[in-house]
């Protein structure tokens, strides 16, 4: 990578939403009567994000109060509560379903409930992590947030889902990878705490994409070869020429649409995007580590959560990262994790090293792990 400069530090206020701000901005500027509803929804969604960013910033700078976990709770059991915002923006909304209660007629409630459980299932049964905080944190979600809200986000306390505008986006509970993506932001907050800016922010986004895919693959029983490797599959209506928001298999190929434009993600450091937008390109440049994971998983074969996923999980939770870890530092950390679990020079270690080299990240460079 040549001729790039470090992006200006991003504002402190941010939130981890599944739809990148640049995509909403493009949609907000559409002057086509066929998409008038979607354009207005995008404008409203962008304005609505600011107080959420402020809330996230407050949470990131204050100590978390102790979480109450029910006495006698069985480790690894899930404790879910789903709330209905009723098209308002006041959180959490009205509680409509709790752990162990039957399905409702509201499909968004049921999808959120199931998605929380399927995410917990992967992290507990495969990695031994008991909820987001590792100590049984109850999992809460709010559906029907806002009117035609075009996003889903983790606000530091709960998952929040909009219903979409109906022209470009459908309801955001429809995709399991979206639910797991957002919950993984919570795990990152409790572990590595990667700063949501520049390369560390792109890693933050990439980790959520990786585990979003793994939760979906685990729930479907799909091998690395059989999986779609898409984030947000099913979010677009049939009026959009696109498969999903992002592709780990082929970053830059998820959509190509007259209204939304072309997926701008790079898949190699030669295409690294130098920008001050999107907190220094966190949703853009995440395509580079995303493809490194995909290459590792498919090189190893089998189920992606078993070896490649284990290496990435060990890296995220093993104390090897710091807030401002960059791509080279993260690559080096994954090699350290692979060596610790499988041995230096093992097939797993070799696959990790080769994959980073193929996306143009030098895993032998003096990357920033703990600066």
Q: What is the CATH number of the domain that holds 50?
A: 3.10.170.10
pLDDT tens digit sequence for 177-199: 999 999 999 999 999 999 999 99
In a domain, 4, yes or no: no
186 and 46 share a domain? yes
Instruction: Decide if 283 is catalytic.
Output: yes
> Among 144, 181, 283, 324, which one carries the catalytic annotation?
283
106 and 231 share a domain? no
Q: Which residues pair with residue 154 across a beta bridge?
A: 16, 159
What span, in angstroms and rounded, lies between the C-alpha atoms of 163 and 182?
16
143 and 290 share a domain? no
* Overall residue count recorded for the chain in this entry: 371
The pLDDT assigned to 15 comes to 63
213 and 171 share a domain? no
In a domain, 10, yes or no: no
Q: List all residues 6 or more positions away from 249 whose beta carbon is below 8 Å from its beta carbon.
A: 228, 229, 230, 291, 294
Domain boundaries, position 34? 16-60+78-190
Look at 28-42, 114-128, 233-247, 335-349 and tell me which has the smallest mean pLDDT. 28-42
211 and 138 share a domain? no
In a domain, 237, yes or no: yes
In a domain, 68, yes or no: no
**Are the beta carbons of 143 and 161 closer than 8 angstroms?**
yes
Look at 3-12, 74-83, 184-193 and tell me which has the smallest mean pLDDT. 3-12
In a domain, 297, yes or no: yes
The pLDDT assigned to 29 comes to 94
234 and 281 share a domain? yes
pLDDT tens digit sequence for 33-66: 999 999 999 999 888 765 554 444 444 444 444 4
What span, in angstroms and rounded, lies between the C-alpha atoms of 46 and 43?
5
Final residue of a domain: which of 157, 190, 223? 190
In this predicted structure, the answer to whether residue 8 has a pLDDT above a threshold of 50 is no
Reported pTM = 0.90
DSSP 67: P
Tell me what the pLDDT averaged over the chain comes to: 90
Which pLDDT band, with edges at 50, 70 and 90, does 156 fall under? confident
> Among 182, 189, 216, 233, which one carries the catalytic annotation?
182
DSSP 246: E
Pick from 17, 30, 21: which is nearest to 260 by CA? 30
171 and 231 share a domain? no
The pLDDT assigned to 162 comes to 97
**CATH code of residue 272:** 1.10.390.10
In a domain, 238, yes or no: yes
Final residue of a domain: which of 138, 155, 190? 190
Q: Buried (b) or exposed (e) across 348-357, using 16+ Cβ within 10 A?
A: bbbbbbebbe
236 and 285 share a domain? yes
In a domain, 262, yes or no: yes
In a domain, 333, yes or no: yes
Which pLDDT band, with edges at 50, 70 and 90, does 363 fall under? confident
Average pLDDT over residues 307-324: 97
The pLDDT assigned to 366 comes to 54
352 and 304 share a domain? yes
Q: List all residues 6 or more positions away from 280 whose beta carbon is below 8 Å from its beta carbon.
A: 7, 8, 9, 10, 197, 198, 199, 201, 202
CA distances from 290 to 255, 295, 357 (A): 17, 9, 13
The pLDDT assigned to 10 comes to 32
pLDDT tens digit sequence for 92-121: 999 999 999 999 999 999 999 999 999 999
In total, how many domains does the chain have?
2
Final residue of a domain: which of 173, 190, 207? 190
Which percentage of the chain shows pLDDT scores above 70?
87
């937008």: which residue's tokens? 277
* 214 CB-contact burial (10 Å; exposed 0-12 / middle 13-18 / buried 19+): buried
Which percentage of the chain shows pLDDT scores above 90?
83
């Amino acid at each position: 990578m040549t001729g790039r400069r470090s992006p200006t530090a991003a504002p402190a206020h941010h939130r981890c939403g599944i739809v990148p701000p640049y995509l909403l901005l493009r949609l907000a500027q559409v002057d086509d009567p066929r998409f008038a509803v979607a354009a207005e929804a995008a404008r409203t969604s962008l304005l609505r994000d600011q107080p959420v960013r402020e809330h996230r910033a407050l949470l990131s700078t204050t100590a978390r109060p102790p979480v109450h976990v029910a006495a006698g709770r069985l480790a690894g059991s899930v404790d879910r509560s789903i709330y209905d915002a009723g098209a308002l923006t006041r959180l959490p909304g009205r509680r409509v379903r709790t752990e162990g209660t039957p399905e409702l007629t509201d499909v968004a409630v049921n999808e959120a409930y199931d998605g929380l459980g399927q995410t917990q299932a992967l992290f507990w049964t495969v990695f031994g992590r008991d909820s987001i905080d590792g100590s049984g944190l109850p999992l809460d979600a709010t559906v029907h947030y806002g009117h035609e809200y075009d996003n889903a986000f983790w606000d530091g306390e709960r998952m929040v889902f909009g219903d979409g505008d109906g022209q470009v986006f459908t309801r955001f509970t429809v995709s399991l990878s979206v639910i797991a993506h957002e919950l993984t932001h919570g795990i990152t907050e409790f572990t590595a705490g990667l700063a949501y800016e520049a390369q560390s922010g792109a890693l933050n986004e990439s980790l959520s994409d990786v585990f979003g895919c793994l939760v979906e693959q685990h729930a479907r029983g799909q091998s690395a070869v059989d999986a779609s490797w898409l984030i947000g599959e099913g979010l677009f209506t049939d009026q959009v020429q696109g498969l999903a928001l992002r592709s780990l298999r082929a970053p830059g190929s998820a959509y190509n649409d007259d209204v939304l434009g072309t997926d701008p993600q790079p898949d190699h450091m030669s295409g690294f995007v130098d920008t001050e937008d999107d907190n220094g390109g966190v949703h853009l440049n995440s395509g580079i580590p995303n493809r490194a994971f995909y290459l590792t998983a498919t090189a190893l074969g089998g189920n992606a959560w078993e070896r490649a996923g284990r290496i990435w999980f060990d890296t995220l939770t093993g104390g090897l990262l710091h807030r401002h870890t960059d791509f080279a530092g993260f690559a080096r950390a994954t090699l350290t994790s692979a060596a610790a679990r499988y041995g230096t020079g093992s097939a797993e270690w070799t696959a990790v090293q080769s994959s980073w080299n193929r996306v143009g990240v030098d895993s032998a460079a003096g990357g920033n792990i703990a600066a």
